[in-house]
Amino acid sequence: MALRDILVVPDPILKRVSEPVDGVDDDLRALMDDMLETMYAAPGIGLAAVQVGVPKRVIVMDLAKPDEEAQPRYYVNPEITWASEELAPYEEGCLSVPEIYEEVDRPAKVKLRYLDYHGKAVEEEAEGLFAVCIQHEMDHLQGVLFIDHLSRLKREQAVKKVKKQKAA
Ligand code: NI
C-alpha cells in the first residue's frame, strides 16, 4: 500500500467525469487499498479515486467513530437508483477543499447499487451520514464538488481560501 497525493481545488482534474471500470481485479483492489490508506492518513471519511488523480468510478469510505473498529467500505461503479424527496442539511467538508465547511441540502435517503471490494453486486439503502457521504462522493465522480452546491460567492471565497493555505 502507498499514500497518494490528494488533489485540491482548483485542480482541473477534479472537474473530470470519471469512467466506469470493467470489473474488480487485483489492480483495482491495490488502488482501493491505497485510497483507503490515504483517506485514513488525511484523515477523512470518504475519498473518490479522482481525488488522487485517477478518474475511475471508485469510492472508499469509513464512517466508524474514532472509538470504533475500522469499517472500510468500497464502492465500484456506484449508481443511485432512488432518492427521497425529503432533503436534509449537513455541514460538509472535503479533503480536496481543506478546512472549508458549509451546509449542503441533499436527499435524506437514497438507494444505491455498486460492486464491492470482491466485485460482488450489492444493493443498499442509505440515510444519515452514510447518505450524505455517498452522495458527496458520487458527486466527485461527476466532477462536482460540495462547494458547487453553494452560491457563486461562497464557492469563490472557498477556492481563494484554499489557494491562500497552499501558498502559506
Ligand atoms: Ni469530497
Domains defined along the chain, listed by start: 12-167 (3.90.45.10)
Residues with CB under 5 A from ligand 1 (ion): 94
Instruction: Give, for all 168 residues of the chain, the pLDDT tens digit.
Output: 799 999 999 999 999 999 999 999 999 999 999 999 999 999 999 999 999 999 999 999 999 998 999 999 999 999 999 999 999 999 999 999 999 999 999 999 999 999 999 999 999 999 999 999 999 999 999 999 999 999 999 999 999 999 999 888
Q: At 3, give phi and psi (nearest 5°).
A: -80, 140
What is residue 143's DSSP assignment? T
Query: Ligand 1 centroid vs 145 CA: distance in angstroms?
Result: 6
pLDDT at 115: 98
CB atoms inside a 10 Å sphere around CB 61: 24
Active-site residue 137, yes or no? Answer: yes
Q: What's this model's pTM, rounded to 2 decimal places?
A: 0.97
Query: Ligand 1 centroid vs 91 CA: distance in angstroms?
Result: 12
Question: Which residue is it, cell 443511485?
Answer: 80
Query: Ligand 1 centroid vs 87 CA: distance in angstroms?
Result: 19
How many alpha carbons lie under 13 Å from residue 107 in its C-beta half-sphere? 15
